[in-house]
A and B are shown apart, each in its own frame.
Chain A
Amino acid sequence: MTLDTVKHAGETPDTEQPWSELGLKQDEYARIREILGRRPTGAELAMYSVMWSEHCSYKSSKVHLKQFGEKVPANDAMLVGIGENAGVVDVGQGYAVTFKVESHNHPSYIEPYQGAATGVGGIVRDILAMGARPVAVVDPLRFGAADHPDTKRVLPGVVAGIGGYGNCLGLPNIGGEVVFDSCYQGNPLVNAGCIGVMKHEDIHLAKASGPGNKVILYGARTGGDGIGGVSVLASETFDDTKPTKRPAVQVGDPFQEKLLIECTLEIFAEKLVAGIQDLGGAGLSCATSELASAGTGGMRVELDTVPLRDATLSPEEILMSESQERMCAIVEPQHVERFMAICEKWDVIATVIGEVTDGERLEIFWHGEQIVDVPPGTVAHEGPTYHRPYARPSWQDALQADDAGALPRPADGAELKDQVLRLVSSPNQASKAWITDQYDRFVQGNTVLAQPEDSGMIRIDEETNLGVAIATDGNGRYAKLDPYTGAQLALAEAYRNVAASGAKPLAISDCLNFGSPEDPAVMWQFAEATRGLADGCLALGTPVTGGNVSLYNQTGDTAIHPTPVVAVLGVIDDVNRRTPIAFAQEGQLLYLLGDTREEFGGSAWSEVIHGHLGGLPPTVDLDREKLLGEILISASRDGMIDAAHDLSDGGLIQAITESCLRGGKGARLIVPDGLDAFTFLFSESAGRAVVSIPRSEELRFTDMCGARGLPATRIGVVDGQELDVQGQFAVTLTELRTAHEGTIAGLLA
Chain B
Amino acid sequence: MTSRIGVVTFPGTLDDRDALRAARLAGAEPVPLWHRDKDLHQVDAVVLAGGFSYGDYLRAGAISRFSPVMETVIEQAKAGLPVLGICNGFQILTEAHLLPGAMLQNDHLHFVCREQRLRVENAATAWTADFAQGQEISIPLKNMDGRYVADERTLDELEAEGRVAFRYLDGNPNGSLRDIAGITNAAGNVVGLMPHPEHAVEPLIGTGGTDGLGFFTSILKKLVSA
Contact = CB atoms under 8 A, between A and B. Distances in A.
A445 B205 contact: yes
Nearest to A433: B114
Interface stretch (B51-59, B77-85, B119-127, B184-192): B51-59
Interface in B42-72: 51-52, 54-57
A734 to B, nearest CB: 16
A439 interface: yes
A448 B204 contact: yes
Interface in B188-209: 196, 198-199, 201-202, 204-207
Contacts of B198: 445
Given A167-B111, A254-B55, A442-B199, A447 B206 contact: yes
Contacts of B111: 160, 163-164, 167, 438-440
A443 B110 contact: no
Contacts of A445: 15, 17-18, 21-22, 198-199, 201-202, 205-206
Interface in A153-174: 160, 163-164, 167-170
Contact of B55 (A163, A255, A447): A255
A443 B54 CA distance: 17
Contacts of A347: 11
A253 B110 CA distance: 19
Interface string A694-723: 000000000000000000000000000000
B12 A441 contact: no
A437 interface: yes
Given A170-B51, A445-B17, A437 B205 contact: no
Contacts of A164: 111, 144
On chain A, which size bracket covers the interface?
20 to 34
Interface in A246-271: 253-256, 258-259
B24 to A, nearest CB: 10
Contacts of A346: 11
Contact of A575 (B52, B54, B114, B204): B204
A259 B205 CA distance: 26
Nearest to A173: B113
Given A259-B12, A346-B11, A437-B112, A442 B140 contact: yes
Contacts of A167: 52, 111, 113, 142, 144
Interface in A568-601: 575-576, 578
B14 interface: yes
Contacts of A576: 204
Nearest to A347: B11
B206 A170 contact: no
Interface in B103-144: 108, 110-114, 140, 142, 144
B82 to A, nearest CB: 22
A168 B52 contact: yes
A255 B57 contact: yes
Contacts of B11: 255, 258-259, 346-347
Interface in A422-476: 436-448, 459, 462
B12 A439 contact: no
Nearest to A438: B111
B206 A438 contact: no
Contacts, number: 90
Given A254-B52, A437-B113, A440-B142, A168 B12 contact: yes
A170 B205 contact: no
Contacts of B142: 167, 440, 442-443
A442 B57 CA distance: 23
A173 to B, nearest CB: 9
Interface in A274-300: none
Contacts of B14: 168-170, 258, 443
Contacts of A446: 205
A347 B199 CA distance: 28
A461 B131 CA distance: 31
B140 A438 contact: no
Given A167-B111, A437-B112, A442 B55 contact: no
A170 B57 CA distance: 16
A253 B199 contact: no
Contact of A438 (B54, B110, B201): B110
A437 B11 CA distance: 25
Interface string B165-186: 0000000000000000000000
Given A167-B144, A255-B12, A444 B17 contact: yes
A578 B202 CA distance: 15
A163 to B, nearest CB: 5
Contacts of A575: 204
B205 A441 contact: no
A168 B15 CA distance: 11
Nearest to A439: B113
Nearest to A462: B21
A459 B208 CA distance: 13
Given A170-B14, A442-B142, 16 more contacts: A167-B111, A167-B142, A253-B55, A254-B55, A255-B11, A258-B52, A259-B11, A259-B12, A437-B112, A438-B110, A438-B113, A442-B140, A443-B199, A444-B18, A445-B198, A448-B205
3 residue pairs, one from A and one from B, having the closest CB atoms:
A255-B55, A170-B14, A445-B18
Interface of A: 160, 163-164, 167-170, 253-256, 258-259, 346-347, 436-448, 459, 462, 575-576, 578, 749
27 contacts: A160-B111, A163-B111, A167-B113, A167-B144, A168-B52, A168-B56, A169-B14, A254-B55, A255-B11, A255-B12, A255-B55, A258-B11, A259-B12, A347-B11, A438-B113, A442-B140, A442-B199, A444-B17, A445-B15, A445-B21, A445-B199, A445-B201, A445-B202, A447-B205, A447-B206, A448-B204, A459-B204
